[in-house]
Structure 1
């Protein structure tokens, strides 16, 4: 695909970008491309890999982060999930009370 076609495909996945941004991603090595006859060509599977990498930014699974950062992000996620569990337990108790269901 050309850069223009790559931009269109990324727009289909609701990624806001233009040809300059895509070219920058290619030059930074974030998006794999082949340079033939002074034209960048991108394969669709490479765009899909890029989308996966993009979806992992800010998580413990982001490419290129060190183990310390991964651990910190995983610990943050665990705390976030524990808070969600506590919230859901309270919601469950309130619903059981409203329905007249006695907890076991």
Structure 2
């Protein structure tokens, strides 16, 4: 995550939201994340992901879509998408929101 943010020229303070895999609280210790990285659980997709459940490689796409559709991010915001795969393969992408979604949002 630090490498991806460094390559994007941003720091943690520049990130509006973080999207993590929907791995469950037993896997992601939010107290430890806050202590080490300075990321508060409210800056993440935790509330959405804990209700939806794990979608495999779809967690980040669903999380980003949720942030867009709920207005939790707006143009100019930066979002960090973090992932982990088999064999402890880690991935990360930094995206900048450049426009509001153009698709019709589903009603609740």
In the superposition, the TM-score normalised over structure 2's length comes to 0.28
Greater helix share, 1 or 2? Answer: 1
RCO higher in structure (CA 8 A, sep ≥6): 2
Larger Cα-atom Rg: 1
Greater strand share, 1 or 2? Answer: 2
